[in-house]
Amino acid sequence: MSEQSGKAMTIAVIGGTGKEGSGLALRWAHAGYDVMIGSREAERAAAKAAELNAVLGRDAVRGADNVTAAQAADVVVLSVPYQAHRPILESIKAAVQGKILVDVTVPLQPPDIRTVHIPPGQAAVLEAQALLGPDVRVVAAFQNISYTHLSHLDRPVDSDVLIASDDDEAKQEVAKLVEAIPGMRAIDGGPLVNAIAAEALTPVILYLNRRYKAAGVGIRFTGLDA
Interface positions with ligand NAP (CB under 6 A)? 15, 17-21, 39-41, 44, 79-84, 88, 104-106, 108, 143, 145-147, 202
Do 120 and 158 meet the contact criterion of CB atoms below 8 Å apart? no
- As measured in angstroms, the least distance from the Cβ of 14 to ligand NAP is 8
Distance (Å, whole) CA 153 – CA 23:
10
For ligand NAP, give the closer residue by CB, 146 or 165.
146
- As measured in angstroms, the least distance from the Cβ of 33 to ligand NAP is 19
Distance (Å, whole) CA 2 – CA 31:
8
Parallel/antiparallel/unpaired status of strands 159-165 and 34-39: unpaired
For ligand NAP, give the closer residue by CB, 7 or 19.
19
Burial readout 192-210 (b: 16 or more C-beta within 10 A, e: otherwise): bebbbebbbbbbbbbeebe
Residue in the shown chain whose Cβ atom is closest to ligand NAP:
18
For ligand NAP, give the closer residue by CB, 81 or 190.
81
- As measured in angstroms, the least distance from the Cβ of 40 to ligand NAP is 3
- As measured in angstroms, the least distance from the Cβ of 225 to ligand NAP is 27
For ligand NAP, give the closer residue by CB, 84 or 193.
84
Query: Angle formed by the axes of helices 124-132 and 82-92, to 10°?
Result: 20
